[in-house]
Amino acid sequence: MTMLKIENLHARVEGKEILKGLSLTVNAGEVHAIMGPNGAGKSTLGNVLAGREGYEVTAGSISYNGVDLLALAPEARAAAGVFLAFQYPVEIPGVNNTYFLRAALNAQRKQRGEKELDSMQFLKLVREKLKVMQISDELLHRAVNTGFSGGEKKRNEIFQMAVLEPQLAILDETDSGLDIDALKQVAQGVNTLRSPERAFLMITHYQRLLDYVVPDFVHVLADGCIVESGDKSLALKLEDHGYSGIGTSQPSGAAA
């Protein structure tokens, strides 16, 4: 079934038009890769989906599980199951990682009308996820992302995703700045979370991540529009020929 339907999306940042008529359909269970050169609008798409302030949608629509996503506040989107793994996770000194995650999970549960977890229940959940994600619990006791290495920050994003169990996960250049071991670890985390109910939108500049997380669809984003769509072989083609030859085949926009 259709989870996300983006139609003719136009968005501005600081008065400059970045997205210029982007359309994309994502079904539950699918993994979509969005690739493209710098400045194409990849991160803007992620930020518009998550509801960051300063990203102004001037035309088009985004329907998520039949609901107008653009009408929701960021926290309501999160509660509805949208998760953005940040390209640059924010350091928050003074807020303990565990405390933060529990506050986030319970805030989401509260908005969904579910019972909040007490600290014992939460701890049990966290331990399960740590085991599955193969992450040391040392990260939990520190302040959110504070003093974390680049790799630790990205792993922490994936760990948050594992605990919050979103329906639609958007990974904004989660692979950037990672060495090969960290990349494998992040990819393994994502693969663990793949399920028929969950969809992924992986925004990436390089094909490297796609060696480890095999996408169902690959889209090329250039100058604010999806100019080409295909299967994983498209990523390999890009790797060989770069972005210069793109846009020659018909953009399919609504994949699947």
Partner 1 sequence: MSEPATLPLVSSLLDAALPPSGLAWLDTARRENSQAFAAGGLPDTRVEAWKYTALRALGQRRFAKGDAAAQSRAVDASTLALPGIDGARLVFVNGVFRDDLSALESLPEGLTLQPLSQALQGDPEPLRFALSRHYRGAGDAFARINAANASDGVVLRVAAHAKIAVPVQLVFVGAAAETDLAWHGRNVVILGEGSSLSLVEQHAAASEQAHLATLVSDIELGERASLRHVVLQNAAVGASLIRRSSLRLQAHAQATMHVLELGGALVRHDLQVELAGNGSRLDTRGIFMPRSRQHIDTQLAIRHQALHTVSSSHWRGVANDRARGVFRGAILVAPGADGSDASLSNKNLLLSPGAEIDTKPELEIYADEVKAAHGATVGQLDPHSLFYLQSRGIPQAEARALLTAAFCRAVLDDLPDQPLREHLAALVLAHLPNT
Annotate each residue in 162-181 with x if it binds partner 1 (CB under 8 A) or - if it does not, as one string: --x-----------------
Q: Which stretch binds partner 1 (CB under 8 A): 27-35, 70-78, 176-184, 195-203?
A: 70-78
- Tell me how crowded residue 93 is: count the other CB atoms within 10 A of its CB: 10
Check binding of 246 to partner 1 (CB under 8 A). Answer: no
Q: Could you tell me the two tokens for 219?
A: 């889209």
Euclidean distance between CA atoms 51 and 49, whole angstroms? 6
Q: Which stretch binds partner 1 (CB under 8 A): 3-11, 37-45, 79-87, 205-213?
A: 79-87
Residue with smaller CB distance to partner 1, 104 or 132:
104
Contact in structure between 37 and 243 (CB atoms under 8 Å): yes
Residue selected from 7, 10, 56, 100 as contacting partner 1 according to rule CB under 8 A:
100
Residue selected from 108, 156, 204, 207 as contacting partner 1 according to rule CB under 8 A:
108
**Shortest Å distance, C-beta 222 to partner 1:** 26
Residue with tokens 């669809």: 217
**Shortest Å distance, C-beta 21 to partner 1:** 25
Check binding of 103 to partner 1 (CB under 8 A). Answer: yes
Check binding of 114 to partner 1 (CB under 8 A). Answer: no
Residue selected from 40, 45, 69, 79 as contacting partner 1 according to rule CB under 8 A:
79
Residue selected from 59, 67, 92, 256 as contacting partner 1 according to rule CB under 8 A:
92
- Tell me how crowded residue 134 is: count the other CB atoms within 10 A of its CB: 11
Q: Which stretch binds partner 1 (CB under 8 A): 10-18, 89-97, 215-223, 229-237?
A: 89-97
Euclidean distance between CA atoms 33 and 202, whole angstroms? 5
What is the SS3 assignment for 170-225?
Answer: EEECCCCCCCHHHHHHHHHHHHHHCCCCCEEEEEECCCHHHHCCCCCEEEEEECCE
Euclidean distance between CA atoms 43 and 59, whole angstroms? 18
Indicate left, alpha or beta for 233 from its phi (over 0: left) and psi (-120 to 50: alpha).
Answer: alpha
Check binding of 57 to partner 1 (CB under 8 A). Answer: no
Euclidean distance between CA atoms 189 and 166, whole angstroms? 14
Residue selected from 60, 89, 189, 215 as contacting partner 1 according to rule CB under 8 A:
89
**Shortest Å distance, C-beta 206 to partner 1:** 24
Check binding of 94 to partner 1 (CB under 8 A). Answer: yes
Burial class (CB in 10 A: 0-12, 13-18, 19+), 173: buried
Q: Which residues bind partner 1 (CB under 8 A)?
A: 50-53, 73-75, 77-79, 83-84, 86, 89-90, 92-95, 100-101, 103-105, 107-108, 111, 143, 160, 164
